[in-house]
């Protein structure tokens, strides 16, 4: 059967099995490749998107489980205030290296700031420890989240 997904404010009709992970619908069917595949088991966070503003691992989220939830991806997160601030902070502190995990990092960080305008180190650990970065950009990620939250470099 077909599924209707609301992605970045636009409706898409997807003709695929209901147990298809959202990640592959985004990447392969809709050719929105900003969301990344890393592990397939919700262990690395590279595939993080928002479902109604909550950080969600799209690699284990089947399309039949999404329902009416609004899906937001890295391609549109800059249209939200939190997303825009996070992306700017990422640029100001030159966070990225290879960049592959950074879509997921930015989605998790944006979701954190949407629900918690002034996260503590412990809040940052809780929200971000599901996102792996093999380049080791973690210290700049922490600083950039604080910069996005406060406007001041830590």
Task: Kindly write down the DSSP assignment for every residue of 35-74, as one continuous string.
Answer: S--S-SSSSS-TTEEEETTEEEETTS-BGGGTTTPEEE-T
Between 60 and 114, CB nearer to other proteins = 60
Residue span binding other proteins (CB under 8 A) among the ranges 2-10, 86-94, 112-120, 146-154: 86-94
**Is 120 a binder of other proteins (CB under 8 A)?**
no
Q: Which stretch binds other proteins (CB under 8 A): 5-13, 20-28, 112-120, 146-154?
A: 20-28
Pick the piece of the chain touching other proteins (CB under 8 A) from 2-10, 18-26, 64-72, 110-118: 18-26
Helix (H) or strand (E) holding 23: helix 22-24
CA–CA separation, 54 and 148 (whole Å): 18
- Dihedral sign (CA 66, 104, 117, 85): negative
Q: Of 7, 113, 124, 148, which one interacts with other proteins (CB under 8 A)?
A: 124
If you search the block for the tokens 């799209």, which residue do you land on? 58
Instruction: Answer yes or no whether residue 37 interacts with other proteins by CB under 8 A.
Output: yes
Q: Residue 132 interacts with other proteins (CB under 8 A)?
A: yes
- For residues 12 and 77, the answer to whether their CB atoms sit within 8 Å is no
Polymer length of the chain: 154
Site residues (CB under 8 A) for other proteins? 16-17, 19-21, 23-25, 27-29, 31, 33-41, 43-44, 46, 73-75, 78, 87, 90-91, 94-103, 106, 124-125, 128-142
């Amino acid at each position: 059967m077909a599924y209707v997904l609301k992605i970045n404010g636009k409706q898409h009709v997807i003709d695929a099995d209901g147990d298809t992970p959202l990640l592959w619908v985004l990447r392969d069917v809709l050719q929105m490749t900003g969301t990344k595949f890393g592990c397939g088991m919700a262990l690395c966070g590279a595939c993080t998107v928002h479902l109604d503003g909550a950080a969600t691992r799209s690699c284990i989220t089947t399309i039949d489980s999404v329902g009416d939830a609004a899906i937001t991806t890295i391609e549109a997160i800059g249209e939200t205030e939190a997303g825009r601030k996070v992306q700017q902070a990422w640029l100001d502190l030159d966070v990225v290296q290879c960049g592959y995990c950074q879509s997921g990092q930015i989605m998790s960080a944006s979701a954190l700031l949407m629900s918690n305008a002034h996260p503590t180190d412990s809040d940052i650990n809780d929200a971000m420890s599901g996102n792996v970065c093999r380049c080791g950009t973690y210290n700049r990620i922490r600083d950039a989240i604080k910069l996005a939250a406060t406007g001041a470099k830590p």
